[in-house]
Chain A
Amino acid sequence: MSTISLVPLTPDQPLDLPSRGRVGMLSLIIGESAIFTIFVVAYVFYIGKSLYGPTPAQVLEVPIFNTVCLLSSSFFIWLAEGSIEKNRMRRFLLWWSTTICLGIVFLVGTAREWLKLIYHDGLTIRTNLFGTTFYSLVGLHATHVVVGLLMLLLVLVFTLTGHVKESHTERIQVLALYWHFVDAVWVVVFTVVYIIGR
C-alpha cells in the first residue's frame, strides 16, 4: 500500500456549501425546463401539420411590445436585487413595483392577443393542431408568469408592511432567479412560435 500522505486534511475546515435555497430553485428550474422542452418539441413537431386553418401566418402578429416589457422586467428585478443588497429599500420598492407592472402589461397583452384570436379569427384550442399546440405552449408560459407575479406581489405586500429587510436579500434573489427563468423561457417560446413557426 502506498503511503500518499500521513497528514490528514484538517477536519475542522468549514466546507464551502452552496445556499440550499439557490440549489433548490435551480433544481426546480431544471425540472421546469424539461416540461417546457416537451411542449416546445410538440409545437415544433406539429408545425405545418394542421389539416385545416387558420394557419399561424394568417393570424399571428409578432408581439414586440409585449416581449420588450417582459424581457426588460428581468433588468428591473436585477436592479431591485442590487438595491436590497445595499439596503436601499425605497429603490428596491420602486424597481420591484416596476417589475410587477411590466409583468402585468405582458399578461394584458397576451389576453388581448387571445381575445383577437378567439373572437376575430375563430382559433380555439380545439380548432386545429396549431390551436392546440399554440394555446398549450403560450398558456403554459403565461401560467408561469401568473405564478411568478403572485409571488412578486406577496413580496410587495410584505415590503409595504415593512417586513422585508436587507437580511432577506438571499430569498429575494432566489425568487428573482425564478423570474429570470420565466423571462428566458419566453425567448424560446417567442422564437419558436412567432419566428420559426410563422
Chain B
Amino acid sequence: MADQVLTIPDSLSVSPPQIADETFLERLHGWVVTVDHKKLGILYVLYSVFFLFVAGAEALCIRIQLLRAHNHFLSAAVFNRFFTMHGTTMVFLVGMPILFGFANYLIPLMIGARDMAFPRLNAFSFWLTAFGGLLLYFSFIGGFGLYGVGSAPDVGWFAYAPLTARAFSPGHSTDYWALALIVSGFGTLGTAINIIATVLSMRCRGMTLWRMPLFAWLMFVVSGLTLITITPLTAAQIMLLIDRYLGGHFFDTQAGGSAVVWMHFFWIFGHPEVYVLVMPAFAIANEIIPVFSRKAIFGYPAMVAASAAIAFVSLGVWAHHMFTVGMTSVSNAFFTLSTMLVGVPTGIKIFNWVATMWGGRIRFATPMLFCIGFLFQFLLAGLTGIMLSVSPLDWQLHNSYFVIAHFHYVLVGAIVFNIFAAIYYWYPKATGRMLSERLGKWHFWLFLIGFHITFDTMHFLGFMGMPRSIYTFEPDRGWDRLNMIVSIGGFIQGVAVLIFAVNLVWSYYRGQPAGDDPWDAWTLEWATASPPPEYNFATEPVVRSRRPLWDLKHPEDPDWRYEQ
C-alpha cells in the first residue's frame, strides 16, 4: 500500500477542510436538497444497502420455511408475498440503484468533470427511485388483499398474466407493484439519460472516448441499454393498469387478449435487465483487477467492443425464458443460438481479466478477493447458462431450483460480490477512512463459504425435480437434507453481511485514515482529496493517457508513449 502524496498540479483542494459546525437539522436539510453527484451517489448506495438487508431478511424467512418438509414458519400466502418482494426488491431497489449510485459518484470524478450533466434531474431521479421503493413497501400496510388484511404483492417478480387480472388478484397489492415499478422506472430512465449526457458532453481536456476508464465506458453502454430496456416494462405496466382499472383486454384471454404477450413484453425487459445489472459489475472488475494486479487492463478495445456486443445480443435472447410456453421450433432454435452467442463476448471478457492478472504482482486485499470470487463464480454461472440455453434441457429444468441456482450465481456470485468489492475499494474515497481488512477478510470468506453451500446445493435440488416458488414439500421426496444445507448456507451469508454492516459503521468512526490514493491506483478519482471537495477538482485536469495517475507517478515512462 503506497501512501505517497500525489497531485495533479493545482487540482487538489485549495481550501482547508470544512469544519463541521452545522447542526444535525442543517446537515439533514443539506442531504435532502442536495444536487451534488457525490452526495446523491452515497444516498443511492445507502438506500440500496438498506433494502439489501430487508430483502436478505425476506430470503432468510423463505429459507427458514423451507428448512424441512411441512414446516409452518410462513403461511402459503405470506410465502408468496415474501418471494415476490424478495425478487422485486433485489432487482429494482438494490441492484439498479446501487450500481447507478456508483456511476453517479464515480463517473464525474473519473472523467474530470465538476458534476453530472443535469444535477437537478439527478436529484429528481433519486427521489423518484426512493419514492418507488417506499410505495412498494407501503403495500405491506396499505395494500388490502384477498381477505381484507394488509398485504404485499404476491404474483411473483415477473407477475404473469392472468394471475394479475382483477379476478385473481383483487385488492391493491398488484397495483402497488405496478405503480412502484413505473415510478422507479422513470427514475432509472432519468439517471440513464444523465449518465449518457455526462459521458458524451462533460469530459475534461484530453479525455477522448478511447482514454476513458472502462468503468465509464461500460456504464455508458449500460445506460444506453437501459433506455430501451426499462421503457418496455413501463409500457407493459401501463397496459396492466389499463386492464385492471379501465377494463382493458390486453392480457385478458376471455376477450381475445393474450397472456403470452405479457410474457414477451416482460422478458423483452427482463433479460436485458440481467445485463443492465451485470455489466456494472464488469465495470467494477475492470477498475479493481488491474490496480491489484499492478498491470494495465489487457485488451481495452476488446473490452469495449465485447460490452457493446453483449448489449446488442442481449436484446435478442428474451424468449429463452419461454421455451416451455410452446413456441415454434424455429423460435426455439433462434433463441437457443442467440443465447449461446452471448457467451462469446462474455468469454472474451473473462479471458481479458485472466490475462490482466497473468504475470501481475497480485495484492490479495479484500476488493481483489471479491473480484477473484466473482471471476470464478461468473464463469460457472455462464456455463450453467449455456446449459439452460439448450431448449430441450430447459424443458426438463425450467422453473426448477436449477434455474434459481443459475441466476443467483449471476446475481449474487457475480454482481453482489463485485458490489462488495466496489464498496471496499471506493469506501476510502467517499469517507476518507479504510474499511477494516480484518473484518473484510472474515466477511469475504464467510460469504464465499455460505454462498457455495447455498447455491451449489441448489443445482442438485433442481436436478432432483424441486420446483421454484413452492412454500413446502412432502417428506418423501428426498429433498429434506439438501434444503437444510441450503438454509444453513443462507444463514452463514447472513452472518457475513452482518459483519459487513459492522465494518461499515465501525470503520466510519475508527477506520485507519485513507489518504488520497490508498491503493496506488491510476484513474482520476484518486487524484483529488478523500472525501473529494464539492467541486471535485480545483482546476480542470488534463489527461494524456488511460492512466493519468500512472503518468504522474512515472514521468520517466508515461503511458502516452505507447497509447495512440
Contact = CB atoms under 8 A, between A and B. Distances in A.
Interface of A: 1, 3-6, 8-9, 11-15, 17-20, 23-24, 27-28, 30-35, 37-39, 42, 45-46, 49-51, 125-126, 128-129, 132-133, 136, 140
B560 A8 contact: yes
17 contacts: A5-B564, A9-B544, A11-B205, A15-B205, A18-B200, A19-B201, A20-B118, A27-B192, A30-B227, A31-B193, A35-B235, A38-B231, A42-B239, A125-B248, A128-B249, A136-B248, A140-B238
A26 to B, nearest CB: 9
Contacts of A9: 206, 544, 560
A129 B261 CA distance: 13
Given A6-B561, A15-B205, A20-B201, A46 B227 contact: no
A63 B208 CA distance: 49
B465 interface: no
A24 B194 contact: yes
B308 to A, nearest CB: 15
B77 to A, nearest CB: 30
B250 interface: yes
A30 B561 contact: no
Given A24-B117, A28-B193, A136 B234 contact: no
Interface residues of B, number: 52
A13 B206 contact: yes
Ranked 10 nearest A-B pairs via Cβ: A126-B247, A38-B235, A20-B201, A34-B231, A11-B206, A132-B248, A20-B117, A27-B193, A31-B227, A8-B560
Contacts of B255: 50-51, 128-129
Main SS at interface, chain B: helix
Contact of B256 (A5, A12, A125, A128): A128
Contacts of A17: 200-203
Nearest to B209: A15
A27 B227 contact: yes
Nearest to B204: A15
Contacts, number: 137
A30 B228 contact: yes
B209 to A, nearest CB: 9
B236 A31 contact: no
A174 B186 CA distance: 20
Given A17-B202, A126-B246, 5 more contacts: A11-B206, A31-B189, A34-B229, A39-B235, A125-B246
A4 B257 contact: no
Nearest to A38: B235
Contacts of B118: 20, 24
B242 interface: yes
Interface in B488-521: none
Contacts of B193: 24, 27-28, 31
A197 to B, nearest CB: 15
Nearest to A8: B560
A34 B205 contact: no
Contacts of B235: 34-35, 38-39
Contacts of B206: 9, 11-13, 15
Interface string B215-256: 000000001100111111011101100110011111000011
B44 to A, nearest CB: 19
A13 B203 CA distance: 13
Interface string B171-206: 000000000000000000100111011101111011
A144 B247 CA distance: 23
Contact of A125 (B203, B207, B208, B242): B242
Contacts of B201: 17-20, 23
A138 B522 CA distance: 53
B140 interface: no
A4 B232 contact: no
Contacts of B257: 46, 49, 129, 132
A11 B261 CA distance: 53
A17 B200 CA distance: 7
A35 B232 contact: yes
B248 A126 contact: yes
A11 B230 CA distance: 38
A185 B542 CA distance: 43
Contacts of B147: none
A27 B190 CA distance: 10
A1 B242 CA distance: 63
Contacts of A51: 255-256
Nearest to A45: B261
B250 A20 contact: no
Contacts of B205: 11-15
B543 interface: yes
Given A4-B562, A12-B205, A15-B207, A34 B242 contact: no
A29 to B, nearest CB: 9
Contacts of A136: 238-239, 242, 248, 250
Nearest to A10: B206
A37 B399 CA distance: 29
A164 to B, nearest CB: 21
